[in-house]
Amino acid sequence: MINTNSIDDSPFHEGKLAIQDKLGKRKIMATFSKRGVRSFMPEQHRKFVAQKVTSFIQFLFEKFEAKPKTKKPKIS
């Protein structure tokens, strides 16, 4: 699918636009964004991302709950 945004209707936020201006790349990025940046995510991509986020959160819980932090006793 092709994004039909004009240069004035950029999909990039102000910070990215400022960087593009500083590097002199705003025009080329506007051209790229018309072909490569979408305002939506296909269903299969949403499911994939949700699965990865869930897997990562599960990993964190397993890692940190299985090994609670303990203080090492001070040896005098």
From first to last of the 76 residues of the chain, give the pLDDT tens digit: 444 444 457 888 899 999 999 999 999 998 888 888 877 888 998 888 888 878 888 888 887 775 555 666 677 6
CA–CA separation, 60 and 53 (whole Å): 11
43: nearest Cα among 35, 51, 54, 33: 51
The whole-angstrom distance between residue 20's C-alpha and the CA centroid of its chain comes to: 18
Q: Which residues neighbour 20 within 8 Å (Cβ) at sequence distance 6 or greater?
A: 12, 26, 29
* 66-to-36, 49, 58, 60 alpha-carbon distances in Å: 43, 26, 12, 10
